[in-house]
Amino acid sequence: MGKNAVFWGLKTITLSGFFLGILSAVAIAAPSYVQSPPLAKVIKEKVATVKGGATKVPVITWGGDIPTIFANGNSAKTAKDSIFAEKGLNIQLVREDKFENQVRAYLKGDSPYLRGTMGMINMAAEVISKDQRTAPLVIYQLSWSTGGDALVVKPGIKKVKDLRGKTIALQAYGPHVEYLAQVLRDAGLALSDVKVVWLPDLTGTDHTPMMALYENNVDAAMVIIPDALALTSNGTVGDGSEDSVKGAKILLSTKTANRVIADVYAVRSDYYQSHRAEVEKFVHGLLKAEETVKTLVAGKGSQAANYRQMMGAAAQILLDSPQAIPDTEALWGDMETAGYQGNIDFFSNPQYPRSMTRLSGDIQKSLKTAGLMGKDISLGTPGWDFTRLKKGLIQTAKTAKPRFDTGQVASIVTTKQQQGALAEGELFSFEIYFKPNQATFSTELYGDQFKKVIDLASTYGGAIITVEGHSDPMGFLKKKKGGAQPVVLGKIKQSAKNLSVARAISVRDSVIALAQQAGISLDPSQFAVVGHGITSPLTGMCGADPCPPKTEQQWLSNMRVAFRIIQVEAESSVFQPL
């Protein structure tokens, strides 16, 4: 999971002392690769009853865990007058970043809880569901990663599709398995289309994806942001000095793919059945703490003492140093908490593109393709009554605001269009086709394609989506062949451009309307309409004019609207962080 929320792009990046110490302490050495069989073949612990005493609850080094620490009274052991203590809970927080160790403790009864990403919980589902006592119930979503995790690539890889056949370094059983799988899937690829080399550790040792990228036979690596910045000369392009790899760049981070990595808690079925009230209190305490922590962060100037106490305690538990407050603040900035409404969407909204059910389905397909899972496992939930869980919460309504500066987006897209450079920064693209003289685009005809756009917009909330209209050049070509005057040809070109813009607007509006019908809120500022007219036909250009189609199929191919998902993370004037 990402461990620094440094905003990278056009700004100068400075890593704080804590992480610089980690990076400088790492000597470049050949990394040790490992096998990554299904966890069911790795974990051999027998199931035992959950032990008595204080309930051990795992946390990991992640900003989404700060509310958990705060709920426990800024302490590893439940402190008097804390949120958890007021609910009668007795909790011992245990930091455990190695997921296999969490699974072993879960099976042995050392802890009834698992703390991981949805990908990690699904990777463990097969082994922990063998015994009904330990079948997991996902009970709470803490956060989404919104900047702390990245895909770093070497020269020659410009789009996700370029990863086909490439070698990618990835931590075994870690948080980036689902990230890589999602990105590949959205590009029409699968984990089986790349060669994965597995590393035992995520960061800070010789045996990490970062260290593997130094090897000549490794083309890309899934890493946390501090490692990504080191590999790419502070988020630009690696110049080969210090810790960077010459030519390496960040292809995609979770600042763009901000709804891919979901952090959650799961609980053993037997423990939930015998301690339902306690588990519900735990979840309600997390919701209450999340609201309070956000309030403290927002008003840290006026509540400096409480804020510093909270961050110092989190720094001690997550980073082993109460002085590592800047890095703890960076952890908080790496993610977005789900909160009350986010948990409702995640667990209870079947239309939500990033719901638990949909995430699990996609993740399990990828895990089976990669040989990390043998069969589908249905993950359960408690079926929370969110009306009950709402009691005592502030529930401040979020005011929807544009995430992008539409003026800057329009300027950048226009410049790219004029330079023929719209493909720069492209992550994914696909097209829909229309009939001659068609002006409207109904969901009856284009529902599946529109749903794909909704899914991509929901998953890659930090990316611009261009909706690019194209027009049939045959009318222009016939008029030119018939000897029409330049002024007439110019008017035809402009008319074709206007028509292509109108078509793109119609498609964009249809997508947003379909999302609204499903209760999904899309940000209109994320969409940029482009009208190409007859200047970019699939049949190509012959000099200054479109090449004449030779077949009916070629003719029809020029009647299209293209969608392009473009990364703009480096454009600090465009993207407006939450």
Report the 3 state secondary structure along 517-576.
HCCCCCCHHHEEEEEEECCCCCCCEECCEECCCCCHHHHHHCCEEEEEEEECCCCCCCEC
Element at 502 (helix H, strand E): helix 486-517
410 and 385: one domain? no
pLDDT for 18 equals 45
Distance CA 430, CA 10 (A): 29
- CA 569 remoteness from chain centre: 13
Q: What does the block give as tokens for 356?
A: 């638990």
Distance CA 330, CA 341 (A): 24
Can you tell me which residue has the tokens 């004029």? Answer: 418
Q: Which residues contact 216 (CB under 8 A, 6 or more apart)?
A: none
201 and 132: one domain? no
Is 13 domain-assigned? no
Q: Tell me the angle at which helices 276-298 and 304-319 cross, rounded to the nearest 10 degrees.
A: 120
Distance CA 553, CA 563 (A): 21
Distance CA 541, CA 560 (A): 16
User: Which has the closest alpha carbon to 565: 274, 301, 256?
Assistant: 256
Distance CA 510, CA 45 (A): 53
User: Which has the closest alpha carbon to 529: 563, 555, 575?
Assistant: 563
Q: 200 by DSSP, 3-state: which?
A: coil
Is 25 domain-assigned? no
Distance CA 64, CA 308 (A): 17
Residue 494 belongs to domain with CATH number: 3.30.1330.60
pLDDT for 265 equals 98
pLDDT for 571 equals 58
Predicted model pTM? 0.88
Element at 426 (helix H, strand E): strand 426-433
- CA 135 remoteness from chain centre: 27
Integer-rounded Cα Rg, in Å, for the chain is 26
Domain that holds residue 267: 37-143+261-389
Distance CA 207, CA 46 (A): 29
413 and 347: one domain? no
Is 413 domain-assigned? yes
Q: Which residues contact 443 (CB under 8 A, 6 or more apart)?
A: 450, 510, 513, 514
Helix ranges (H only) for 420-485 are: 443-459, 474-481
Is 574 domain-assigned? no
The CA-to-CA distance between both ends of the chain, in Å, stands at: 20
199 and 161: one domain? yes
Q: Which residues contact 320 (CB under 8 A, 6 or more apart)?
A: none
210 and 192: one domain? yes
Do the Cβ atoms of 372 and 122 come closer than 8 Å?
Answer: no
User: Which has the closest alpha carbon to 338: 567, 103, 139, 527?
Assistant: 139
Can you tell me which residue has the tokens 């931590």? Answer: 171
Can you tell me which residue has the tokens 């296999």? Answer: 100
Is 375 domain-assigned? yes
- CA 521 remoteness from chain centre: 18
Q: What does the block give as tokens for 76?
A: 């590893």
Distance CA 276, CA 18 (A): 40
Is 286 domain-assigned? yes
131 and 272: one domain? yes
Is 6 domain-assigned? no
Do the Cβ atoms of 533 and 526 come closer than 8 Å?
Answer: no
238 and 268: one domain? no
302 and 203: one domain? no
Q: Which residues contact 421 (CB under 8 A, 6 or more apart)?
A: 415
Q: Which of 363, 389, 415 is the last residue of a domain?
A: 389
Q: Which residues contact 81 (CB under 8 A, 6 or more apart)?
A: 73
Longest dimension (CA), the chain: 91
DSSP assignments along 134-151, one per residue? G-EEEEEEEEEESSSEEE
Which residues of the chain, if any, have pLDDT below 50?
A: 1-27, 572, 575-578
Residue 507 has phi, psi (to 5 degrees) of -65, -45
pLDDT for 21 equals 46
Count up the domains in the chain and report the number: 3
Q: What does the block give as tokens for 213?
A: 């990228």
Residue 187 belongs to domain with CATH number: 3.40.190.10
Is 28 domain-assigned? no
Q: Which of 212, 231, 253 is the last residue of a domain?
A: 253
Our separate counts of H helices and E strands in the chain read: 21, 17
Beta bridge partners of 428: 565
Q: 296 by DSSP, 3-state: which?
A: helix
Could you tell me the strand order of the sheet in which 335-337 lies?
113-117, 262-268, 136-145, 335-337
User: Which has the closest alpha carbon to 535: 466, 471, 489?
Assistant: 471
What does the pLDDT look like over 194-215, one tens digit per residue? 999 999 999 889 999 999 999 9
User: Which has the closest alpha carbon to 19: 193, 183, 227, 197?
Assistant: 227
267 and 381: one domain? yes
pLDDT for 396 equals 60
User: Which has the closest alpha carbon to 56: 105, 128, 4?
Assistant: 105
94 and 198: one domain? no
307 and 224: one domain? no
Q: Which of 253, 280, 301 is the last residue of a domain?
A: 253
180 and 324: one domain? no
Distance CA 457, CA 522 (A): 7
